C-alpha cells in the first residue's frame, strides 16, 4: 500500500508540474530589494510569466511585517491548526499564497538565506496539514485542503563563480516542495550575477541573459516546466574562475589598505 501511494503521489506531482501557470506569488528575499542583483534576475523572469498570461504578484520580504517563528510549540499545527499565534503581515501573505498555483522564492545566496527570507519560509508552516506521511524514505506532510499551490520555483543569485554554490538553497526549496507534496519545478540560478553589469549598467551579455530569463518565464507559464537548455544558458560562466577570484582578492587588498 505504501509503495502504491508513493507512486500515485509521484504521478500527481508530475501532472502538477506539467500544467500551465495561471497565478504566481513571487517573494524577493534580497535586503537590497529593487536595487539588488536578485531583482535584476527575477524581474525579467516575472515579465516573461506575465507576457504568457500569468497573473503575477511580487512581494519584497524586507517590507513585510513578519516576526521570526519563535513560539516553540508548533501552535499552528496543534494549538489552532492552520492559524499562527502571531498576528502580523504573514496572515495576509499566506492567504494570497494559498490562492496561487505557483510560488517563486527568489534570494541571494547568504549562509544560506537572508534573515527575512528565512522568516518567511519558516512561517509557511500554517499552510501545511499536521497529518504525517512517509514518502520516498522521508517523513512528510502536505498542504492543507484549499491551498491551490501546485509548484515551487527557486530564483537565486550569488557572487561566487560556481553553480555548486547554490546547492544548499536549492536543496531547501526542493525539500520544502517535497514536504508540502507539490512539484519543485526547478532552480533558475545566476552565479557571479554582478558581472552582468559593467560600470553600473547592464552589459550586452547581461541583456542577453535577461532575455533568456524572460524566455524561461514564458516557458514556465505556457508549459508548467523549465527547459534544461534555457537554465544552463542562464547560469553559464561569464568570466573565468581565476579572473573572478583575482577580482575579489584585489578588492580585499584595497580594503585592507584603506
How many whole angstroms separate alpha carbon 250 and alpha carbon 50?
41
Mean pLDDT computed over 144-162: 97
- How does the average pLDDT of the chain come out, rounded? 92
Return the closest-CA partner of residue 244 out of 156, 157, 160: 160
pLDDT confidence of residue 185: 97
CATH number for the domain including 30? 3.40.50.360
Instruction: State pLDDT tens for residues 47-89.
Output: 999 999 999 999 999 999 999 999 888 999 999 999 999 999 9
Domain that holds residue 43: 2-257
Higher pLDDT, 3 or 180: 180
pLDDT confidence of residue 200: 87
**44 backbone dihedrals φ, ψ, rounded to 5°:** -65, -30
In this structure, how many other beta carbons lie within 10 angstroms of the beta carbon of residue 119?
Answer: 19
How many whole angstroms separate alpha carbon 147 and alpha carbon 187?
22
Total domains in the fold of the chain: 1
Q: pTM to 2 decimals?
A: 0.91
Contact 244, 195 (CB under 8 A): yes
How many whole angstroms separate alpha carbon 58 and alpha carbon 46?
9
Instruction: State pLDDT tens for residues 204-249.
Output: 999 999 999 999 999 999 999 999 999 999 999 999 999 999 999 9
Amino acid at each position: 500500500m505504501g509503495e502504491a501511494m508513493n507512486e500515485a503521489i509521484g504521478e500527481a506531482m508530475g501532472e502538477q508540474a506539467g500544467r500551465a501557470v495561471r497565478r504566481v506569488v513571487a517573494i524577493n528575499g534580497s535586503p537590497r530589494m529593487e536595487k539588488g542583483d536578485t531583482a535584476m534576475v527575477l524581474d525579467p523572469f516575472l515579465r516573461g510569466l506575465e507576457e504568457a498570461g500569468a497573473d503575477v504578484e511580487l512581494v519584497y520580504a524586507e517590507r513585510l511585517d513578519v516576526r521570526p517563528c519563535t513560539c516553540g510549540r508548533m501552535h499552528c499545527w496543534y494549538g489552532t491548526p492552520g492559524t499562527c499565534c502571531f498576528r502580523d503581515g504573514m496572515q495576509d501573505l499566506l492567504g494570497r499564497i494559498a490562492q496561487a498555483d505557483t510560488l517563486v522564492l527568489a534570494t541571494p545566496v547568504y549562509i544560506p538565506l537572508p534573515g527575512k527570507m528565512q522568516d518567511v519560509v519558516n512561517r509557511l508552516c500554517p499552510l501545511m496539514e499536521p497529518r504525517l506521511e512517509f514518502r520516498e524514505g522521508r517523513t512528510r506532510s502536505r498542504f492543507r485542503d484549499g491551498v491551490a499551490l501546485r509548484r515551487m520555483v527557486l530564483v537565486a543569485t550569488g557572487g561566487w563563480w560556481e553553480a555548486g554554490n547554490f546547492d544548499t538553497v536549492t536543496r531547501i526549496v526542493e525539500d520544502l516542495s517535497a514536504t508540502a507534496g507539490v512539484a519543485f519545478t526547478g532552480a533558475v540560478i545566476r552565479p557571479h550575477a554582478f558581472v552582468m553589469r559593467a560600470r553600473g549598467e547592464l552589459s550586452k551579455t547581461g541583456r542577453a541573459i535577461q532575455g533568456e530569463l524572460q524566455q524561461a518565464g514564458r516557458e514556465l507559464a505556457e508549459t508548467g516546466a523549465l527547459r534544461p537548455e534555457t537554465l544552463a544558458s542562464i547560469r553559464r560562466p561569464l568570466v573565468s574562475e581565476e579572473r573572478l577570484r583575482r577580482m575579489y582578492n584585489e578588492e580585499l587588498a584595497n580594503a585592507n589598505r584603506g
